Homo-oligomer: A and B are copies of this chain.
C-alpha cells in the first residue's frame, strides 16, 4: 500500500521520512535540484532507492516537502517583530535573529537561494502572495515608525531586502567569505558589524 500524502503514522515512517528530508537537504543544497540524484539522497539517508520512493512518490515531492517546511521557519523572524516594541531595537533584534539562522541553518539558506536564483519556479506564487503580504505589512509598520521620527527615513522595502541580503550572504557565500578571511571566523565580527551598520543607518 502506498502512503500518498498521509501524515506518517508508524515509528519507522517517522524516522525514515525525517532521515530522507535531512539527506535531501544536504544534497539539494549543495547540488541544486537537477544536480541531485535520488540514489545520492537514498544512500545519504541509508536507504535503497526503491525504499526511498516508498516514502516519497518522486524526487519532486521530496524537494517540495523540503521547501514547504522551510518557508515557515524562514519567515518566522519577520513575524516576530513587535509593533509595540522600541523600533530600533526591534530591527536590530530581527537582524540578529536572521544572522543566527544563517549560522545555524546554512543549508536551508542555500536551498532557498538556489531556488530563487533559478527563478523560483516552484515557489513563485508564495513569494508574490504570502511573502509580499507579510513584507508589505512590515514595511507599513516601519513607515509608521519613520513617520513618528523614531527611526530614520529610508525606503522600507529596500531596508528589508538589505537585511535579508546581508545576513544570508554569510550562509550562501560562506566559501567565498572564508576564502577571503583566511583563518578568521566570519561570525566573530559579523554581528557587531551589522549592528553598527543598522544603528548608524536608522538612528534618527
Give A24 to B165 CA distance when docked, in angstroms. 27
Q: What 0/1 pattern do residues 21 to 40 of A give for CB contact below 8 A with B?
A: 00000000011111100000
Residues of chain B with a CB closer than 8 A to A180's CB: 127-128, 131-132, 135-136, 157, 161
Verify B32–A175 contact, CB threshold 8 A.
no
**Closest residue of B by beta carbon distance from A131:** B180
A88 within 8 A of B: no
A164 within 8 A of B: yes
Chain A interfacial residues counted at CB < 8 A: 52
Of A12-20, A89-97, A195-203, the stretch lying at the interface with chain B is: A195-203
A85 within 8 A of B: no
Per assembly, the copies of the chain total 2
A49 within 8 A of B: no
A162 within 8 A of B: yes
Q: Which A residues lie at the B interface, using CB under 8 A?
A: 30-35, 110, 113-114, 116-120, 124, 127-128, 131-132, 135-136, 152, 154-155, 157-159, 161-162, 164-166, 169-170, 172-173, 175-177, 179-182, 184, 189-190, 192-193, 196-197, 200-201
Using A114-B117, A166-B166 as known contacts, list a sample of 18 further A-B pairs with CB atoms less than 8 Å apart, ordered by residue number in A.
A34-B34, A113-B117, A116-B173, A116-B175, A117-B117, A120-B176, A124-B179, A127-B179, A132-B179, A132-B182, A154-B193, A155-B192, A158-B189, A161-B169, A161-B170, A164-B173, A165-B173, A196-B201
